[in-house]
Amino acid sequence: MQIKVHFIGDIASNYIGNKYNWRVLSVHTHSLNIVNELGAIVTLASKELGRGPFIITTENFPFYSIGKSSKVKIRDGKIEIGEIALNISDCKIYDSRLNINPISRDKEYWLHWQQSIVSWLLATEYADFYKKSFVPKMKAISDNELINLIGYGYGTTPTGDDFLAGYIIGHLTLKKSIPQTFKYNVEKNLKKTNLISANYIRMAILYRVNEKIKKSLEKLFLGYKIEPFNEEKGFGYTSGLDFLLGFTEYYIRHTV
């Protein structure tokens, strides 16, 4: 089967260049991550996982054939990983910037959706973690203490990181900018988590999100129903819901 490239994220297109040395960071069933010496990450992923700021969306890519020792070269509009070469010179750019006009919703609206999100999370294998640890913690923590959530929880992108990214996007949809002191403190504490998760938090600060998160936020503001494991699951097993948990928490705290 022919390997195809459908989209390259707008941030990934900025990262790709001959002047950097790249290596394989991690390989998963439906994706792999490459990283350069500056810590910039590009993800190759199957199209089912959706588009994103630093994702190159592929079809029929044999992720199982790639190891962490596979050589990576990027030159002349091509990415070579091991024996596989991808032409990215003509692929479309995915614009990951959010472009939504928030519609006024009362606090009860956001409380309703947060309760639904928590109930979906309590139906996962991590129910005890959310019930006994994370939900009480996120309710007790102040805005100024949110950086303490970095690196906290499970997964490639830990629960606290996804929550913080959602909270940041919530702030940006309402305020359009974040305080420089808060931004500085977040950046300073990103060493507490892994490179991939740190990249997602940086994307949130830039007001950029994955396609499936973008669709879910549009639905929330329009008053449409969101489903527990349709749009969100493509972003990760619980990551999309953790993100929406943070987003709704921002609006609960800052809606009169």
pLDDT value at residue 143:
87
Closest CA to 157 of 53, 236, 210: 236
Tell me if 164 sits within 8 A of 175, measured CB to CB: no
CA–CA separation, 20 vs 41, rounded Å?
12
pLDDT at 231: 38
Per-residue pLDDT reduced to its tens digit, 79-107: 999 999 998 888 899 999 988 877 888 99
Instruction: Please list the pLDDT of the chain residue by residue as tens digits (256 residues).
Output: 688 899 999 999 988 877 789 999 999 989 999 999 988 899 999 988 889 999 999 999 999 999 999 999 988 888 999 999 998 888 899 999 988 877 888 999 999 999 999 999 998 889 999 999 999 999 999 988 999 999 999 888 999 999 999 999 999 998 888 889 999 999 999 999 999 999 999 999 999 999 888 888 888 888 887 776 443 343 456 888 999 999 999 999 998 7
Token code pair at residue 235? 């972003």
The separation between the first and the last C-alpha atoms of the chain, rounded to the nearest angstrom, is: 55
3-state SS, one letter per residue, for the chain: CCCEEEEEEHHHHHHCCCCCCEEEEEECCCEEEEEECCCCEEEEEEHHHCCCCCEEEEECCCHHHCCCCCCEEEECCEEEECCEEEECCCCEEECCECCCCCCCCCHHHHHHHHHHHHHHHCCCCCHHHHHHHHHHHHHHCCHHHHHHHCCCCCCCCCHHHHHHHHHHHHHHHHHCCCCHHHHHHHHHHHHHCCHHHHHHHHHHHCCECCHHHHHHHHHHHHCCCCCCCCCHHHHCCCHHHHHHHHHHHHHHHHCC
The Cβ of residue 188 has, within 10 Å, a number of other Cβ atoms equal to 11
Q: Measured between alpha carbons, how far is 191 from 82 in angstroms, rounded to an integer?
A: 30
- From the CB of residue 211, how many other CB atoms can be counted at a distance below 10 Å? 21
Give the model's pLDDT for residue 12: 92
Distance CA 254, CA 156 (A): 29
| Rounded distance between C-alpha atoms, residue 154 and residue 151, angstroms | 9
Say what the pTM is: 0.89
CA dist 250 and 252 (Å) reads 6
